[in-house]
């Protein structure tokens, strides 16, 4: 398996030039986020990823986590790596300094998280879940809960776990049946949860579970759910650990990939009941859950970017050394590296350009979240939160689709060797597949985008984004650079397609016998269209920045020249698919719903 090297120049370009670090550093409390400091942090993160996490990626895949005699053991080296992760302060990059965090923008934490995902996907999932728990308690926890748990969660000394799914309910959260019985100022929980990532392990002395359950006497469905803190070990008033709570891992799932990440079946209340502490108010658990889910969905989208980057680097390095066939240009005599062949180059550029688009989208949304939380103007905060809400499902689904596709192309570039486990290419494919299911399947993300985000605000945010894209595209009028001209034309077509699909979905009530079915039938294509056009817009902005840099520094600057090429490739190969996606959206439900069950 090739060594992983964080793409620092690409990451810095997005942070400093495309997103605009200066604007984020101008937010109250974020003044320390200077370019020099951010570069130092990313350089050290890159070193940690390459030297500590990446060497354990294959180890984790081969050994996996195991459950024996009630104890979950992680693969060789993971405990030491996690201790180094905590000691380095990496878990608290963007969190409140009052609780031990660094207080840097979420944009910076987003970049470090991409490095963890690329270096060691299985390992990186543990901090993702802890971040979700921090978000939950920061927003809704009591002062006592914050003082008790936030310092340990932010440091990573006590990792967190998100605990929602039950076997009979799946994604239908309203059917959850885990009970929470009041007992003074606490509750006792009884039930079983499945698919709990990092639900139990040996990396830390305590694990803090955020459990969705139904308090006795609550109404049925999602309106009766509440959220509880359920620690593996009870915590005394002085912060010391007490007895073990009545909870245990009864099984670890045997999975397609991410073998290092223990996915547990957790049982609560086999005896006297697992002690839990209510977060906020009863029957508001679904509201609280979404604060965790949105955080996790952004993080999982970023996991897609990270694993795509790792798969790309390995495929690129293989393509430069694997000799096979003749160079059609005649530049190389004899056997040529396969990177000389146009189709291999097409595959590599497909990976590279989509990674760049997904990275730009993920970082941009992270920067909007920083603005939504810290800008002094309430209207600007609301506007950017609406932007985040609209694009969260796109970041999650579109980026994870790209991650799996990149991993699949990586296997293809390796040829027969890619199908052999020893090369490592197959691990990326196996690992990447879960991201399309995590935190709500990508189909659920599409339904969320169309029903809650698009129709929910009558298309207001979609229209804002479309007009923003069109205004930028119009600014390219008259630019004589041939690459910019091609990008300009493709982006205009993409914006028109997105406008047409948006108008059709919003008008379903006027023209479809069953508007809900029609919207559901086109939802996935619509999400893909939003991702493609928004990603194309950010690639176009990158191209303009690169064009301006080339005018300043000269046409031989390889980095900026490469940015022009990848942006043009994305426009030619992916933005041109926009009208096909619009047709898929606006075709309605006739063919999708046309077969009887027996015809399948």
Q: In this structure, are residues 194 and 170 in contact, taking their beta carbons and an 8 Å threshold?
A: no
Distance CA 208, CA 153 (A): 8
Q: In this structure, are residues 204 and 226 in contact, taking their beta carbons and an 8 Å threshold?
A: no
Active site residue 44: no
Q: If you ran DSSP here, which 8-state letter would residue 598 be given?
A: G
Partner residues linked to 244 by β-bridges: 233
Q: In this structure, are residues 134 and 95 in contact, taking their beta carbons and an 8 Å threshold?
A: yes
Q: In this structure, are residues 106 and 369 in contact, taking their beta carbons and an 8 Å threshold?
A: yes
Distance CA 184, CA 24 (A): 45
* Cβ partners under 8 Å of residue 241, min gap 6: 205, 206, 233, 234, 235
- Residue written as token pair 């929470």: 180
Element (H, E) at 52: none
Q: In this structure, are residues 268 and 230 in contact, taking their beta carbons and an 8 Å threshold?
A: yes
- Residue written as token pair 């800008």: 375
Beta strands 186-197; 179-183: pairing state: antiparallel
User: What token pair was written down for 351?
Assistant: 């990976």
User: What token pair was written down for 507?
Assistant: 């008008």
* Cβ partners under 8 Å of residue 254, min gap 6: none
Distance CA 562, CA 582 (A): 30
Q: In this structure, are residues 110 and 124 in contact, taking their beta carbons and an 8 Å threshold?
A: no
* Cβ partners under 8 Å of residue 487, min gap 6: 476, 536, 539, 540, 543, 567, 568, 571, 575
Q: In this structure, are residues 163 and 213 in contact, taking their beta carbons and an 8 Å threshold?
A: no
- Residue written as token pair 């029609």: 518
Read out DSSP for 346-389? HHHHHHHHHHHHHHHHHHHHHHHHHHHHH-S-HHHHHHHHHHHH
Partner residues linked to 251 by β-bridges: 265
Could you give the angle at the alpha carbon of 191 between the alpha carbons of 186 and 194, nearest 5°?
120
Catalytic residue among 421, 439, 512, 572: 439
Beta strands 208-215; 160-163: pairing state: parallel
Q: In this structure, are residues 521 and 514 in contact, taking their beta carbons and an 8 Å threshold?
A: no
Nearest Cα residue to 15 out of 104, 106, 103, 108: 108
User: What token pair was written down for 77?
Assistant: 């080296």
Read out DSSP for 401-431? HHHHHHHHHHHHHHGGGGGSGGGSHHHHHHH
Point out the residues that are catalytic: 439
């Amino acid at each position: 398996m090739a060594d992983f090297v964080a793409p620092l120049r690409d990451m810095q370009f997005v942070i400093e030039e495309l997103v605009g670090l200066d604007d984020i550093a101008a937010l109250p409390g974020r003044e320390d986020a200077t370019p020099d400091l951010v570069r130092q942090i990313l350089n050290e993160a890159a070193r940690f990823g390459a030297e500590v996490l990446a060497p354990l990626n294959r180890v984790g895949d081969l050994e996996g986590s195991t459950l024996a005699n009630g104890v979950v053991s992680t693969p060789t080296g993971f405990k030491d790596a996690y201790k180094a992760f905590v000691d380095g302060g990496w878990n608290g990059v963007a969190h409140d300094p009052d609780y031990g965090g660094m207080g840097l923008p979420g944009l910076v934490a987003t970049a470090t998280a991409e490095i963890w995902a690329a270096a060691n996907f299985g390992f990186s999932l543990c901090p993702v879940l802890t971040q979700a728990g921090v978000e939950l308690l920061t927003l809704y926890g009591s002062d006592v809960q914050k003082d008790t748990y936030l310092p340990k969660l932010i440091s990573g000394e006590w990792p967190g776990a998100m605990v929602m799914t039950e076997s009979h309910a799946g994604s239908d959260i309203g059917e959850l049946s885990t009970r929470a019985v009041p007992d003074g100022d606490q509750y006792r929980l009884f039930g079983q949860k499945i698919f709990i990532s990092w639900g139990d392990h040996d990396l830390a002395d305590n694990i803090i579970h955020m459990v969705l359950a139904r308090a006795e006497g609550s109404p049925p469905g999602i309106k009766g759910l509440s959220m509880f803190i359920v620690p593996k070990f009870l915590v005394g008033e002085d912060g010391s650990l007490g007895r073990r709570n009545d909870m245990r891992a009864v099984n670890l799932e045997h999975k397609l990939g991410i073998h290092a990440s223990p996915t547990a079946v957790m049982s609560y209340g086999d005896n006297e009941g697992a002690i839990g502490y209510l977060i906020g108010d009863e029957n508001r658990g679904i509201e609280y859950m979404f604060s965790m889910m949105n955080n996790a969905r952004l993080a999982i989208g970023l996991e897609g970017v990270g694993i795509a980057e790792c798969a790309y680097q390995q495929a690129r390095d293989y393509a430069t050394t694997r000799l096979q066939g003749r160079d059609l240009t005649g530049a190389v005599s004899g056997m040529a590296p396969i990177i000389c062949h146009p189709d291999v180059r097409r595959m590599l550029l497909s990976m590279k350009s989509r990674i760049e688009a997904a990275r730009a989208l993920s970082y941009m949304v992270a920067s909007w979240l920083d603005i939504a939380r810290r800008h002094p103007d309430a209207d600007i905060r609301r506007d950017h939160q609406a932007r985040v809400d609209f694009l969260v499902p796109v970041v999650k689904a579109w980026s994870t689709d790209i991650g799996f596709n990149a991993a699949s192309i990586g296997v293809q570039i390796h040829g027969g060797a890619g199908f052999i486990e020893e090369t490592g290419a197959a691990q990326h494919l196996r690992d990447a597949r879960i991201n399309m299911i995590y935190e709500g399947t990508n189909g659920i993300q599409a339904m969320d985008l169309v029903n809650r985000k698009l129709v929910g605000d009558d298309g207001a945010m979609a229209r804002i984004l479309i007009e923003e894209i069109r205004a930028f595209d119009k600014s390219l009028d008259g630019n004589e650079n041939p690459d910019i001209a091609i990008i300009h034309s493709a982006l205009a077509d993409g914006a028109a397609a997105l406008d047409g699909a948006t108008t059709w979905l919003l008008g379903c009530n006027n023209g479809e016998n069953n508007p809900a079915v029609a919207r559901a039938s086109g939802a996935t294509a619509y999400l893909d269209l939003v991702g493609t056009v928004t990603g194309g817009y950010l690639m176009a902005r990158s191209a303009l920045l690169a064009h301006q840099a080339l005018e300043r520094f000269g046409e031989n600057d390889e980095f900026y020249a490469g940015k022009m090429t990848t942006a043009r490739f994305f426009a030619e190969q992916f933005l041109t698919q926009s009208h096909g996606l619009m047709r898929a959206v606006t075709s309605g439900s006739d063919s999708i719903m046309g077969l009887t069950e027996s015809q399948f």
